[in-house]
Amino acid sequence: MTTAIHTELDADGILLLTIDVPGQSMNVITPEVQADLAAAIERLKTDETIKGAVLTSGKVSGFMAGADLKGMGALFGGGGTPEGKSKMAALFDGVFGLNKLLRDLETCGKPVAAAVNGLALGGGLEFILAC
């Protein structure tokens, strides 16, 4: 895992997932957030000592603003895309990947609660709904 989502397992088996994207004043969905969330979901599904999870924000500015538009905008700028795909196909794959990830959270088999502290916009609200 990277450092966008910090995890802490308490004595009762509750996994605390704290989103705190480095270098951002507000949490946004980045590839690092997606990678960390995927790893956390896998751990949640497979670790029998984990009874459930709480997803929250480490930012005082709010829960999450949604997708990192600067990162998405790079798909429309110059440069190639992976596997020779068109820019629109790469964008679709990225958005669908996030959709699948949130569905995996929703159906992981263990209860997940969202502790929302402030604004939850766009994809941030999607994270909450998946919980």
Nearest-10 crossing angle of helices 87-106, 123-130: 30
Looking at the structure of the chain, the number of domains it has is 1
pLDDT digits (tens, 9 = 90+) for 83-128: 677 877 877 877 788 899 999 999 999 999 999 999 999 999 999 9
pLDDT digits (tens, 9 = 90+) for 32-45: 999 999 999 999 99
Q: Model's pTM, two decimal places?
A: 0.85
Q: In what order do the strands lie in the sheet with 112-115?
A: 5-9, 14-19, 52-57, 112-115
In the structure encoding, which two tokens stand for residue 100, read together? 């699948």
Query: Which residues span the domain enclosing 37?
Result: 5-130
Torsion of CA 116, 119, 123, 129, to 10 degrees: 40
**CATH number of the domain within which 88 lies:** 3.90.226.10
